[in-house]
Amino acid sequence: MCGIIAYLGKKVAQPILIEALKRLEYRGYDSAGVALLGSGAIRIKKTSGRISALEKILDEPDAAETLGIGHTRWATHGKPSTINAHPHLDYTGKIAVVHNGIIENYGTLKTWLQNEGAAFASETDTEVIANLIGYFYAKGDSEEEQKKSDGQNKFEWSVQRALQEMHGTFGLAIVCSDFPDTIIGAKRGSPLILGVGDNEYILASDAAAIVEHTTQAIYLADNEMVTINPEGFHTKTIDNITISKELKQIEFSLEQIELGDFPHHMLKEIFEQPKALSTCMGGRIDSRNNRIKLGGIDSYLRELTRTKRLILIACGTAFHAGLVGEFLFEQLARIPAETEYASEFRYRNPIIEDGTVVISISQSGETIDTLAAVEEAKERGATVLGIVNVVGSSIARTTDTGIYLHAGPEIGVASTKAFTAQVAVLTMLAIELGRRRHIRSDQASKYIDELSQIPDKISQILNQSDHIKQIASANIDQDNWLFLGRGFNYPVALEGALKLKEISYIHAEGLPAAEMKHGPIALIVDGMPVVFIATAGPQYNKIMGNIAEVRARGGKTIVVATEGDENIKQHADHLITIPDVPEFLQPMLTVVPLQLLAYHAAVLRDHDVDKPRNLAKSVTVE
C-alpha cells in the first residue's frame, strides 16, 4: 500500500527521495510523486504509473533543495491518475501532504471546507488533510487562535488541529512553504518510522527505505507526531503532550533487501527458505534437553499450556499458515484450535471464554484487519500472542507477547519464506506445548530432531526448480487450475492456488481433495491441470482415489509425492517429489514446489512477479 518518504539533511533531496521510493515499490502502487523545498515555493512533481515515469518528468536536482517528501500511491479514493497522485497541495499553496491510510469522515470535512471556500482538485481523501491543515494555518493568524496555540509554531498547531478532526487512519509527512526547514510526521493506524542519521533524517513507512542511510530509528505509535528540523526532532501526541521516544536499532541490512544474483525478490526468498528457517529455529531448538525454547513468551508458557482453546487469526498466506497451526495444535498438543480470517473475526461478535488464547499471525505486522482483530480480542479479555516477522511493527507492539519469525525482510509481494517460517514457529510452539501436556520425552526428541532437518530437506526440493519450470511451461496455456490436498496438506493446496492467482493471474482454486466431488469436479475438462499433494500419510489411499477421478475426466495431474513412491508414477502426468518426513512436517516441504510452480508460470506469462497488478505487500487499509 502507499509508501511515504521524507528527507531532511544536507544532501540534495531529490535523488534520495527517488531511491527511497524505489525501495518502497514492493509495497504496491499505481502512481508516485515528490515535493521539494529549499528555493522558495513548494515544487511538486507527480504522475500516474511507475517511478520510472516520475523520473522522466523530473527536473535536474536543485542543490538548494535539501528537504522533501515523496509518495507511492495505491489508489483507494479516486482512480490512479496524476491529479490523484500525492503530494497534495492545499488550496492556499502553502501546505503539501503525503498520506497512507483512509480518512473515513473525509466527505463531511470536504463539504464543510468547500463551504468555507477551499477548492479541491482531486477525488482523494488526502486532499482534505492538506486543505484542513491549510485552513487552520490561515485561520491561525487571528489573535485568538494564536493564543490557543500556546507558543507553538503555527504549522505544528495547524497539523494538530486538523488531525484532531480526522476519523480513520493516517501515516503522514507534511511540509509548509513558510517553514522550509521543517517536516512534520504523524501517525494513526498506518506505520511511520523516523530514521535518525548523522545530521539527516529519513521519515518512512518502512525500514526498507531507511537502512541505506541509518539503522537508528524511532517508531511512532498511534496519535503521535514528530517535528523535524536541522536542529533535531521532537515528538508529541497530536494533543500536544510532549513524549520521549527510544532510539531503536533496525534489525536488517541493505544486502538483505537487494536482489543479488536473483532476477526477482520472490525467487530469492524461495531460495532463502533453508537459511530463513535455520535462523528462525536456531537457538530455539534445545536438542540436548529435548525442548524448544521460545524466550519471548516464557512468562506466558504456563497460561498457554493450560489454555482451553486457541483461536488463530490472520489474512492471506498467514491465514493458511494458521490453518496448518490448527492441525498442529490439535494433533501435537491436543488443544482445540480454530483459524479465522481476521477481517471476519472482528465483525463477528466473537466469543472469548476464560482460558482462550488468540494467536495472530502476520509477516508485516501491519495488516490492518489483523491489527484490528488483535485489538478486538484484547478488549474481550483474551491474551494475544503475535507471530510476526517485522520487528517493532504495530502487531508486534500491540500483542501481549510474541515470537518473531527472524526470517529476514520479505520484499516479494507473494509471501513465501514468511509462510514456511510461520509454520516452523507454529510447529515449535505445538511441540513444546505437547511436550508439556502429554508427549513422552523420547517422542518429543524425535519430533525436534526431524524438525531440525527441515532446512536441508527444503534445499533438496529447490534443486528441482528447472524441472518445475518445465511443468509450468507444459501447462502455461491453461487458464483454470485446481489444487487439492488433505489433512495437513489441505492448507498447502489453498496456498498453492493463492500463489498462482496472485502473480500469474491464472484462475486457481484450492480445496480439500474430498470436496472436489461436491461441486468443483464439474469444472474438470480435458487438459485442465490439477495439482495434487499426495504424500505419504494416513490419507494417501483416499487421495489416490481423487487422482483417479480427475484422470477419468481428462484432467492433467501434477502430483507432489514422497520420494521412493514408485506406485504414484503411473498416476501422475507430472511428478515432483519431496523427502520423506512425518505428515505434520510436510507443509514446510510441499509448499515449496507450489511456490516455484507459481513463480515460473508468472515469469513464463511475462508478469512482473514482484509487482503483481492491484496487489500491495502489506494491506494497511480495510
Positions marked active-site = 2, 617
Coil, strand, or helix at residue 5? strand
| Least separation in angstroms between CB 165 and ligand M6R | 30
CA dihedral 515, 516, 520, 525 (to 10 degrees): 180
Number of residues that bind ligand M6R (CB under 6 A): 16
100 binds ligand M6R (CB under 6 A): no
387 binds ligand M6R (CB under 6 A): no
318 binds ligand M6R (CB under 6 A): yes
| Least separation in angstroms between CB 391 and ligand M6R | 13
Contacting range for ligand M6R; rule: CB under 6 A; set: 183-191, 284-292, 356-364, 444-452? 356-364
Contacting range for ligand M6R; rule: CB under 6 A; set: 25-33, 195-203, 303-311, 411-419? 411-419
| Least separation in angstroms between CB 29 and ligand M6R | 15
Q: Which of 224, 502, 565, 610 binds ligand M6R (CB under 6 A)?
A: 502
235 binds ligand M6R (CB under 6 A): no
- The sign of the CA dihedral 176, 17, 89, 617 is negative
Q: Which of 316, 392, 408, 529 binds ligand M6R (CB under 6 A)?
A: 316
Q: Which residues of 60-96 are buried (b: 16+ CB within 10 A; e: fewer)?
A: ebeeebbbbbbbbbbbbbbeebeebbbbbbbbbebbb
Q: Is the Cβ of residue 444 or residue 458 nearer to ligand M6R in the bound state?
A: 458
317 binds ligand M6R (CB under 6 A): yes
Q: Which of 66, 356, 363, 539 binds ligand M6R (CB under 6 A)?
A: 363
- Residue number of the CB closest to ligand M6R reads 316
Contacting range for ligand M6R; rule: CB under 6 A; set: 23-31, 150-158, 192-200, 357-365? 357-365
Residues 6+ apart with CB under 8 A from 190: 2, 100, 101, 169, 170, 171, 205, 366, 620
Contacting range for ligand M6R; rule: CB under 6 A; set: 136-144, 182-190, 310-318, 476-484? 310-318
Under 8 Å between Cβ of 380 and 394: no
Q: Which of 14, 66, 124, 362 binds ligand M6R (CB under 6 A)?
A: 362
Strands 193-196 and 216-219, sheet pairing: antiparallel
618 binds ligand M6R (CB under 6 A): yes
Q: Is the Cβ of residue 365 or residue 529 nearer to ligand M6R in the bound state?
A: 365
Question: What is the arrangement of strands in the sheet containing 3-8, beginning at the earlier edge strand?
Answer: 43-48, 31-37, 67-73, 3-8, 201-204, 193-196, 216-219, 248-249
Distance CA 82, CA 277 (A): 43
Coil, strand, or helix at residue 580? coil
Under 8 Å between Cβ of 439 and 335: no
Cis peptide before 409 (omega within 30 of 0): no
Q: Is the Cβ of residue 42 or residue 374 nearer to ligand M6R in the bound state?
A: 374
Under 8 Å between Cβ of 458 and 473: no
Applying CB under 6 A, the residues found at the interface with ligand M6R are: 315-318, 362-364, 367, 370, 413-415, 498, 502, 618-619
